[in-house]
Amino acid sequence: MNPTSAAGPADPSENLFDLLRAYRPRLNFTVSPNDQMVLPQEALDADTLPETDWRNQYFWVAEEILRLVVKAMILGEKTTLRRILDLPCGHGRATRAFRAAFPDADITVCDIDRDGVDFCAREFAARPVYGHPDPDRIELGDETFDLIYCGSLLTHLDADRFRRFVWMMSRHLAKDGLLVFTTHGRWCITFHRTVSAFIAPEPWQVIEDGFRREGFGYHDYAESPGYGVSLSTLGWVQQVVDADPSLTTLAAMEKALGNFQDAFVCQKWPIDNLYGPAHPKVRPMVYRGEVEMNGPPPATGGPRMVSGLAPELQKTAEPVAEGPPPTVETAAPSPPEPQRSWAGRLRRRLWRRGGSSGA
């Protein structure tokens, strides 16, 4: 599975399933001591998570992120990614997987944690961009990307900044680029109650009430104003995407990242465009089928002339013969029954009565 794509010579990454097996020899295993994605041992010893070793949990999630991106590439009919933005990058849990899977890609990392940005730039040969709580103040210039991955950011923002970050990332997508972002969905209610609490009970009730009433709930962490926990339904998130007509939603998946967070996959292609990015004229060869490459197979029969069919279907219907309408033969009417006088009917009745009494 490695044919020449429509854009040029074949690329090894066109066999997308091999990415999940071939990336590991190139994986950088250096983990920063400041990486907040490393779970403390007490959390792993709590008998609520399947992993008991931080390395197993950390690198498994990194692979799950790569798995999610591979799914997005298949949905978007991509063969490779040349420009990637990891926002927020943290200390590189996702970035390391991207660098190993796409060794020739230009990767940009962005986060408000400057130590994390510096670590990723140094360890994974990425371009550093320091983030900002206001998405409109992040200095990405006019750069665009084939993939923007946004994991575990919108899960901590209120509704206003949630929307603004989605729309900002959309502006930095290249034509038919992919935006993959994660959210907290309805499963997180069960997670909060049975596995690990996100926040104290009182603010959690505010979050859950908003989720059930409006499809979105949020509350700040007590120690971090402007940063907290959000819950959002798939429908509410889709409304955010709907507000940007330059995006087309390819997937909305519950528990898609690590059996935990929901995930959306959007593509930079106007929803109102007649020909989408998967149209045969631009589809990479690896995704083309027999009909696209060799034309339709021979077929017998065809569509009938039915009111309301499209014009191209009506042309294939059987022609109607011209001329006067055929004569429809009808049966001759039955002759009317003979009319009898009332006097004759009376005599017959009297005769029948007399005959019956005489018998």
Topology adopted by domain 12-292: Rossmann fold (3.40.50)
When pLDDT is averaged across residues 79-103 and rounded to a whole number, the result is 97
- What is the model's pLDDT at position 10? 38
Q: Using one digit for the tens of pLDDT, what is the confidence trace for 20-41?
A: 889 999 999 999 999 999 987 7
Condensed to tens digits (0 to 9), the pLDDT of residues 113-134 reads 999 999 999 999 999 999 999 9
Each domain of the chain, given as residue ranges in start order, spans 12-292
pLDDT, tens digit (0-9, with 9 covering 90-100), for 150-189: 999 999 999 999 999 999 999 999 999 999 999 999 999 9
Residues 6+ apart with CB under 8 A from 59: none
Indicate if the pLDDT at residue 323 is higher than 80: no
For position 19, what pLDDT does the model report? 87
Angle at 86 between CA 125 and CA 146, to 5 degrees: 95
pLDDT higher than 70, residue 8: no
Overall average pLDDT of the 315-330 stretch: 56
Share of the chain above pLDDT 70, in %: 76
What integer pLDDT is reported at residue 276 of this predicted model?
73
Contacts of 229 (CB under 8 A, 6+ apart): 155, 156, 184, 198, 199, 203, 204, 207, 218, 219, 221
